[in-house]
Amino acid sequence: MTGINDRNTAIVDTETAAAATAAGNAMHELLRELLPLPRSITGDGVRQTLAALHMRLPLTTSEIPSGTAVFDWTVPDEWHIEDAYIADMSGRRLVDFHASALHVVGYSTPVDATYSRDELEPHLHSLPDQPDLIPYRTAYYAPSWGFCLSHRVRESLGTGPFRVVIRSRLAPGHLTLAEAVIPGATDDEVLLFAHDCHPALANDNLSGVLVATWVGQHLRTRRTRYTYRIVFAPATIGSITWLAHRRDVLPRIRHGLVLSLLGGPGRFHYKLTREGTRPIDRAAWHVVHATDAAATRLPFSPWGYDERQFGSPGIDLPMGRLTRTPNGAFPEYHTSADDATLVTAAQLGESWLTVLRILDVLERDATYVNLAPYGEPQLGRRGLYRTTGGHQHIPERQLALLWMLNQSDGRESVLGIAERAELPFAVLADAATDLEAVGLLRRQTDRAERVVSLSAPAPL
């Protein structure tokens, strides 16, 4: 079993707090840089975003031509936006795309005309209940145009007339997909997916894009059992296009996560796979719940993000979803208040670390056999009862040694023992490594998916 993470190497460092702080700060710096770009489901805003990510994590991009049939959908025309504004007749801009990419409805068709207030009104979108915020709206599949503005600005517009200009272009082009592949010891893959199509919104979903990028960056420095595939694509049409084009890799995907809304202040929410009993469901929930007892486990539903596509019946990949507060459940959702103050470096860093801890479970879960099962072996003689030294969790660690010895009858995996002992997986996995080193345990399997599926599913 050489080559398959045979040293049971953790992919999360010991100095986790410092690493999470550093990663969070770096992610937030890039977030502020990328935030204003006019991303959409196609176009140069996405390409510029991917170019910036490529500096941190080498990406391969694919350009899929407009008109390409992808399952039941068709890749749309490419949208370019240069400028958009509503001005008074003196030329003073009252609503200006250059102040926020949210001001123009995504996929707006070109306009250059003078309108009365009454004529303009059906093309305006605002939030009377949140009068200072600009909403986010798109019109991908029905040609139209519009502006989003705060309700206060809308109320102050006056009667007009207004000069209304949208310098956009909607023409055959391409939809851009990007992915990074980080090779592991086996061809078995873990898929991480983040949508990249929202303009000027921080939590939805630059946060997911950045966390995925930094996770990839970290994994490149580790020796892993799995091969990791990190995919960035627009929501819905992008994941459908990727699935249609990469059917060759789908049979190798053993586990996956959709990453979204990972920078806001809320608690973690893990959404189960379509089946609800996949190894990723147990691994993710164990880690999320250990991090935060108030975390929420959501049932699968065919609504939300791209887990809908990955969990469609013909695809049925084991893809869970990790978010903090989910879509639609926080007041800043799809508004200009989803900005670089809602998303903090600390929250991004914590999310990054949580994803790595989930992957660490997938990497290191295994079953062991106790080689000295008659009574409790004398740990002090083997130097395993330490009162000083490099271990962070002394009481937990001693408990973990006892739990590993007691439960290692070759049937229960480290994850199952962690669930029963209510101890963090990593503490038990480290204990197993040390017990193996002194000849008290023998590692029996090294396939997380086999181990976990042989164990009883956790009660939901």
Residues engaged in binding Zn ion (CB under 5 A): 204
- Please say which residue, 163 or 198, places its beta carbon nearer to Zn ion: 198
* Cβ-Cβ contacts under 8 Å for 90 (sequence gap 6 or more): none
Residue type, 242: W
Q: Which is nearer to Zn ion, 139 or 165 (CB)?
A: 139
Q: In whole angstroms, how close is the CB of 175 to Zn ion at the nearest point?
A: 17
Maximum distance among all Cα pairs of the chain, rounded to whole angstroms:
91
Tokens linked to 281: 């469901």
Q: Which is nearer to Zn ion, 36 or 161 (CB)?
A: 36
Q: Virtual CA dihedral for 256, 261, 262, 268, nearest 10 degrees?
A: -80
The residue (of 271 and 397) whose beta carbon lies closer to Zn ion is 271
Task: Name every residue whose Cβ is closer than 8 Å to that of residue 440 and which is 6 or more positions away in sequence.
Answer: 370, 371, 372, 377, 382, 405
Nearer to Zn ion, 198 or 255 (CB): 198
> Which CB, 194 or 345, lies closer to Zn ion?
194
Nearer to Zn ion, 77 or 204 (CB): 204
In the complex with Zn ion, the residue whose CB is nearer, 204 or 365, is 204
Pairing of strands 319-323, 253-259: parallel
- Which of 367, 372, 350, 354 is closest to 424 using CA atoms? 354
Residue 292: CB minimum distance to Zn ion, A = 24
Nearer to Zn ion, 300 or 330 (CB): 330
Q: Kindly give, in sequence order, each residue whose CB lies less than 8 Å from that of residue 155, ignoring residues fewer than 6 positions away.
A: 131
Closest approach of Zn ion to the CB of residue 402, in Å: 47
User: CB–CB of 72/125 below 8 Å?
Assistant: no
State the nearest-atom distance from the C-beta of 102 to Zn ion, in Å: 12
Residue number with the smallest Cβ distance to Zn ion: 204
Mode of pairing for the β-strands spanning 111-115 and 73-74 = unpaired
